[in-house]
Amino acid sequence: MRGPGETVVLGVDPGTAVTGYGVVRSGADGGLSLVECGVIRTDARAELADRLRDIHLGVIEVIERTHPAAMAVEGVFYAKNARTSVVLGHARGAVLLAASLRGLRVAEYPPAEVKSAVVGAGRATKDQVGLMVQRLLKLRAVPKPHDAADGIAIALTHCFRGYGPTAKAPLDLKLKMLGLPGGRR
């Protein structure tokens, strides 16, 4: 149950093998707390379509369990291998579809902005991100694996930058049915 002035943000670090997520509550007083974090793993031997289905369903499950007010997703980055970028784009699509189907507004943050918001340096390492997530949320240990810590960092970035007068407008994703001539769908 959410109190007055509280908001819950789901941060997602998409990947086809491992999708990390973190759910952060921002209190009316500005205090931050971790609701939950984890990863959605897919079977490496499965076809891409099946892996995307598993990512989509996993994100839907997290949304239904935690009832976030918004979702923050790591933005597109350009890998050295073009195929890697395209496949990552598919995983992002599965995540964005889950948000749209559940009526969530989505904000995207580039990896360097997430690192800068959480660590203070856009070229921070995964270990540095994990340590700062631990420190900022006063956790007993660094969240594992790195993908979960990255999901939390994305949610924190939205808490730090996603509200107020300097906030970037989140993507307003709406699912629209494409009508065919003659009323068929």
Determine contact, residues 143/32, Cβ cutoff 8 Å.
no
Distance separating alpha carbons of residues 71 and 59, to the nearest angstrom: 11
- 24, 34 contact by CB (below 8 A): yes
Among the listed residues 104, 90, 80, 78, the one whose alpha carbon sits nearest the alpha carbon of residue 17: 90
- The residue-averaged pLDDT of 105-122 equals 94
- Report helix, strand or coil for 174: coil
Q: What percent of the chain has pLDDT over 70?
A: 83
Residue 130 has pLDDT above 90, yes or no: yes
- pLDDT in the model for residue 155: 98
pLDDT tens profile 135-165 = 999 999 999 999 999 999 999 999 998 653 3
- Taking the CA atoms of residue 129, residue 24, residue 117 and residue 18 in that order, the dihedral angle to the nearest 10 degrees is 50
Interatomic CA distance for residues 108 and 157, integer angstroms: 10
pLDDT score, position 163: 54
Helices then strands, counting H and E runs in the chain, come out as: 5, 5
Measure the CA–CA gap between 154 and 97, rounded to whole angstroms.
Answer: 18
Average pLDDT of the residues of the chain: 87
Domains of the chain, each with CATH number or no CATH: 7-172 (3.30.420.10)
Proportion of the chain in helix, strand, coil states, percent, rounded to 5: 40, 20, 40
CA distances from 92 to 30, 76, 122, 141 (A): 29, 8, 22, 28
Catalytic residues: 13, 74, 147
